Amino acid sequence: MQVAGCGNQLIQPMTNRKIVKYYFISLLSYLLLIIPFQSFTQSVSVKSGNPSITQETDIAGIRQTYQQINSLNLTKQRFTYESPGCVEDGIVNYFFDHSKIVKITESGAIGDGSWAVEYYYSAGKVVFCLETIVGGPAIGKVTKSVYRYYIKNGRPVRVMEGSKIITANSKAAEIIQTANKIYDAYASKDFISALCK
């Protein structure tokens, strides 16, 4: 059977064998074009580094450091401080692995609120902070907020409020700055300058 096509040309109908051959060649052509492109894009993403994979790797490393520090038998030195309008009953604890500061805890209260902050260090650089803030009116509901700061190279990798990831803001920058100041304050024991100014 022949069918008339454009320009009065006769077109032969395709047999099943020709149809299969046509689809096979089309599929093969598609695969030859798409596979090299996918390999190229995969190699580019591996070279450039996927931010979410990098972030999760950094956080896993920070968690490992946190767990390692808390599993050590650390030496502790305790100090107290007070400053009107800043802190009542302030306590700073330095934890040492041999002669290196690896953890600092700081707590205090003012008015109807109190806080406790844990700072974790690796090679003298802060890597994690855990901040708990409790407060409320004298008569009424007391609130408790917990913040986690995952830090790499002096910058927040992730900030969490409770179990929710939040955007790193000036509060994250402030806690990193405080972590550095309190670390340096061990030499002078001037905790008021480090924490109240």
Handedness of CA 51, 121, 163, 143 (dihedral sign): negative
Non-local CB neighbours of 49 within 8 Å, separated by 6+ positions: none
**Which residue, among 60, 71, 80, 135, has the nearest Cα to 103 in the 3D structure?**
71
Tell me the pTM.
0.73
According to the model, what pLDDT value does residue 138 have? 74
According to the model, what pLDDT value does residue 112 have? 87
Locate 68 and state its tokens: 């390692």
Euclidean distance between CA atoms 186 and 150, whole angstroms: 23
In order, the DSSP letters of 89-130 are EEEEEEEEETTEEEEEEEEEEETTEEEEEEEEEETTEEEEEE
Amino acid present at 156: P
Euclidean distance between CA atoms 159 and 141, whole angstroms: 26
**Residue 151: C-alpha distances to residues 122, 166, 177 (Å):** 11, 14, 12
pLDDT (tens digit, 9 = 90+) per residue, 77-114? 999 999 999 999 999 999 999 999 999 999 999 988 99
Q: What percent of the chain has a predicted confidence (pLDDT) above 90? A: 65
According to the model, what pLDDT value does residue 14 have? 53
Q: What percent of the chain has a predicted confidence (pLDDT) above 70? A: 74
pLDDT (tens digit, 9 = 90+) per residue, 37-76? 343 333 333 333 456 788 899 999 999 999 999 999 999 9
pLDDT (tens digit, 9 = 90+) per residue, 100-157? 999 999 999 998 899 999 999 999 999 999 999 999 777 788 899 999 999 999 999 9
According to the model, what pLDDT value does residue 160 have? 96
Amino acid present at 51: P
Locate 128 and state its tokens: 């994690």
